[in-house]
Chain A
């Protein structure tokens, strides 16, 4: 019942905050959000899951109740966590609390609605990572869209309406493509499953029980479903060329929403890729490995080059997310122990680091009222703590050792270098070059904005940031360093334990395609 408690706390909190008068909402929201955070951390400390939830592992905090029945198919409220979802649940709870704290300065209207939506989104996000039944999962998956639509549309920048609609329409159409793909699999499985339970479906697919559907053979069904689901999730990740909604959404979104968007929402896409595409259909993943890896590498390099071309700090960070999520895609498609594990670790690590960078840009914008690189310089003298946090975040992004980004990217590169698909070392080498570009644009923009003599093109006086602005930055840095220093103890052991079964049964598959995992 722990997961239900977690979701229930967020929903109840969202309602309470929504009906509170505006002046009490910020502090109430912070106080309330500490409760799910505490529960999540407690669950993390008590975590006793083993193996992969979808492949017959021991599921922690499991609960299952009947919900609906449609003919043959039972839908149950099935929740539970394994080593992949546990860190992401903690990440969701942590970032929500920090994003709420980071909202105090920039959000200046309709407080109770804003904070209510943040807590509602937290509930939906935890639901996405905790659900083990397709329909329940899909309910949460779609429910995430609604608060984010409002967060961008109401509190966003000048082009917020356009960005909000674009976000909503893109991701909703992607959901439907994915939904159709998944149901192709369900109908193809025919009598071998009797529910929409994800573990049951995953195991049936692994046991090769997929049958033909109409004129399509089993193999064609699987391939089409894989492609449909991949497209659906790739929009969320986002993988180039499905990324165009992201810069708009990010730039227009208010800082806290950007933190959540980059920190957790993008992870929904890669999480789902891992759970559905790579866990359920390893043969198709192996067959399509080269094109997927190509998309991943293009995302890395192209995203980084786009970031290099921007002059708006927030756009730089936004495009760098395209690049960083490319590493996740590459790690997943490598289909090796370190590749898949590293990709999962990168989800957590990128959540923290990009959250930190967006929060920093937000604080800088609050005080200078500009995000244009050319409009400011020498901020380091005026706001040393924020600038220090920004430098820490940038170094983490570039993969400085002892920080989370280094561990994550290192695992991914080790994993993808030894991958079985054709040309894996070359893909990896090209991807590694992405880090050079990352270092390039981050150092370049930092050098121009943070250092040198102080100058500001805006009329605002630059003052040191408030305590509640800085606290989230410091907490995030602490987590990034902790995760980079003790990656195995804190998360990677847990993750490997859950990702290994994905490969074990798929090992045979990978071998047929010319290699061993």
Chain B
């Protein structure tokens, strides 16, 4: 059977799914194998291939104009490809880093399979053309994540985190599904483009409004935004560090990918404003999320928890991408800026969590004090971590500076300057707690009893690769921003 030509456009997702299946096959042929290099290698190559295909498609213009598959149930456009590029790169980094982290653990094949399946779900989320596909993709991304979070079965924290994540996830899935049903009731369709044509003339504005709000709640869960953020610090802290990296970067980006598409395509603010002004809701959400995330991060004593809360804060920054869609123009810039921030975030945040994985590998504790003087033992890795921290804070040592600048300037251009101001103040505040990590590593006297004798090669390589990407994105962001703005412009 010849593959229907447009189906080739879904290749980035397919590659991930096929990789997961190959891992399945490998595991069923030799179920007792703990042949770690092969497993990690397959996962790494598969996700890298997915990233490569997405990049080639982006450059060669497969996504413009958008290719619709299965009658619009799947949409492959530049935005989908852009996000698939992010998922591919993060998954590759995590797979690379997991090789060392998992060294002596059981069920390694299952770990990589779950990882790839979750990535497949995320990739599908980015190109979901209907609410039904979106929901299924969200579940495909979420279910493996629950299992991944509680992967350390002997560790109570890990199991507890997985349970909490699962319970809140199930609840928000229910909310999301109920929201979809309300939207369907009001508009008679699940296809995003059909919903869009129906919303204006919907005879049930109240039902539609509640539906949109509940859908928004589903996204808030996936992106760890207030008020559905409670699971995030627990899950990120309890999960194995590479998994924290994965769900705080890729899974969050996936949530935003779906949110961007659904909110912008299905509920264009111009025509739903009679039913519900969701932009106002997102504005409030953005301000609360970034402020709460930052203040909570500032009070942590545990580096991993600090990063978890700061990740909530960053969700708030990205929400500006939706919150500044005020209909005054510049919509492509605002949305594109959110995409760019997620791209940079994919590297700097993944890198930061992978550094924590590295520290856990060395047996370094989790508090700031435990990081004291780490730079004298592992200077290169600490340079990388310094880059991540300062870039997350928005200092111009990495791409984080420019992507934040895009977001804030975009917000000001759209007339919501107060949003940019709150963001800028938060950003300045965040330097305080990010620099605590840097201070501990470089300035404090070394703690006793920490032995950095072995250098886990792939984990190290993943951290360094993420750092290099973060730095290179500062000068090279001009290339990506054009792609992102063009991708976003299609929607308006």
Interface residues of A (CB under 8 A from B): 18-19, 66-71, 73, 75, 110, 113, 135, 138-140, 142-143, 145-146, 149-150, 153-154, 160-161, 164-165, 168-169, 172-173, 176, 179-180, 183, 187, 214
Please, which residue of chain B has its CB at the minimum distance from the CB of A136?
Answer: B396
Task: Judge whether B50 is part of the interface by a CB distance below 8 angstroms.
Answer: no
In the complex, the 5 A-B pairs of residues with the closest C-beta atoms, listed nearest first: A139-B396, A153-B443, A68-B478, A71-B333, A142-B396
Known: A110-B376, A172-B431. Is A160-B401 also a contact (CB below 8 A)? no
Q: How far apart are A86's CB and chain B's nearest CB, in angstroms? A: 24
Asked whether, in the complex, the Cβ of B410 is within 8 Å of the Cβ of A146, the reply is no
Please, which residue of chain A has its CB at the minimum distance from the CB of B337?
Answer: A70
Complex Cα spacing A75 to B477, Å: 11
Complex Cα spacing A73 to B402, Å: 13
Q: How far apart are A374's CB and chain B's nearest CB, in angstroms? A: 31
Asked whether, in the complex, the Cβ of A164 is within 8 Å of the Cβ of B333, the reply is no
Contact with A along B470-491 (1 / 0, CB 8 A): 0000110110011001000000
Interface of A is mostly: helix
Asked whether, in the complex, the Cβ of B482 is within 8 Å of the Cβ of A146, the reply is no
Interface residues of B (CB under 8 A from A): 330, 333, 375-376, 379-380, 383, 390, 395-397, 401-402, 405-406, 409-410, 412-413, 417, 421, 424, 427-428, 431-432, 435, 439, 442-444, 474-475, 477-478, 481-482, 485
B402: chain A residues at CB < 8 Å are 68, 135
A150: chain B residues at CB < 8 Å are 442-443
Asked whether, in the complex, the Cβ of B413 is within 8 Å of the Cβ of A68, the reply is no
Of A66, A69, A143, A168, which contacts B397 at CB under 8 A? Answer: A143
Q: How far apart are B155's CB and chain A's nearest CB, in angstroms? A: 34
Asked whether, in the complex, the Cβ of B428 is within 8 Å of the Cβ of A172, the reply is yes
Asked whether, in the complex, the Cβ of A146 is within 8 Å of the Cβ of B428, the reply is no
A176: chain B residues at CB < 8 Å are 424, 427-428
Q: How far apart are B403's CB and chain A's nearest CB, in angstroms? A: 10
Known: A146-B397, A165-B439. Is A187-B478 also a contact (CB below 8 A)? no
Known: A113-B379, A139-B474, A187-B412. Is A164-B443 also a contact (CB below 8 A)? yes
A153: chain B residues at CB < 8 Å are 439, 442-443
Q: How far apart are B451's CB and chain A's nearest CB, in angstroms? A: 20
Complex Cα spacing A454 to B485, Å: 72
Known: A70-B406, A143-B396. Is A183-B412 also a contact (CB below 8 A)? yes
Known: A139-B396, A142-B395, A172-B428. Is A69-B481 also a contact (CB below 8 A)? yes
A169: chain B residues at CB < 8 Å are 431-432
Asked whether, in the complex, the Cβ of A68 is within 8 Å of the Cβ of B477, the reply is yes
B405: chain A residues at CB < 8 Å are 70, 135
Asked whether, in the complex, the Cβ of B442 is within 8 Å of the Cβ of A70, the reply is no
Asked whether, in the complex, the Cβ of B424 is within 8 Å of the Cβ of A71, the reply is no
Complex Cα spacing A154 to B478, Å: 35
Of A67, A71, A165, which contacts B413 at CB under 8 A? Answer: A71
Complex Cα spacing A164 to B438, Å: 12
Please, which residue of chain A has its CB at the minimum distance from the CB of B431?
Answer: A172
Asked whether, in the complex, the Cβ of A173 is within 8 Å of the Cβ of B428, the reply is yes
Please, which residue of chain A has its CB at the minimum distance from the CB of B412?
Answer: A187
Complex Cα spacing A75 to B413, Å: 16
Please, which residue of chain A has its CB at the minimum distance from the CB of B406?
Answer: A70
